[in-house]
Amino acid sequence: MSASKLIRRIIRIFDAIVNYFAFFAVILILFLVASILYEVVMRYFIGRVVLWTFEVTEYSLLFITFLATTWLLKEEAHVKMDFVLNRLKPRPQAMLNTVTSCLGALMFLTVTWYSARVVWQTSQTGYYLPTVLEILAAPILVIIPIGTFLLSMQFLRRAFGFVGDWKSTGET
């Protein structure tokens, strides 16, 4: 297998993972809507308090954040500060986008490293979250290094794309 075929295959696998994670985030959002509706019905119409909904909502919001961010960056559907960027010519614009993407990759690789260490430490100590459900912390926290690693890879992919844009534009 040639290097270009291998790279295309890795990109397809990466995209499939990112799309799957985004789909799972949507499923979690639908689950949150249903569980909050269930909580409201139970509390106000039946008179019973459901203790787990608040905690599960917290965990779901954490997962939604780290499952969906890479897809948002891949689709360029995130919030951008394009007030300054749109005033630049294409070549400086591509250069600025390359620099910010590299900084984003570096920042999220750092978060990946430190969050992976925390997950490892909590899994080794068997730390339980002191909450109503009292579940192990590691399975909840593991989404942070996974999500930030994927996000850093997408930032690098984005940076390489902008380098190509920068090289292809001849104007300054």
Encode pLDDT of 140-168 as tens digits.
999 999 999 999 999 999 999 888 877 77
* pLDDT band at 8; cut points 50, 70, 90: very high
Instruction: Report whether pLDDT(47) > 60.
Output: yes
Residue type present at position 31? F
pLDDT confidence bin for 170, thresholds 50/70/90: low
Number of domains composing the chain: 1
Helix and strand tally (H, E) in the chain?
6, 0
Residue 157's contacts (CB-CB under 8 Å, 6 or more residues apart) are: 11, 14, 74
Predicted pLDDT at 57: 93
Distance CA 73, CA 155 (A): 8
Parent domain of 80:
3-168
pLDDT band, residue 36 (cuts 50/70/90): very high
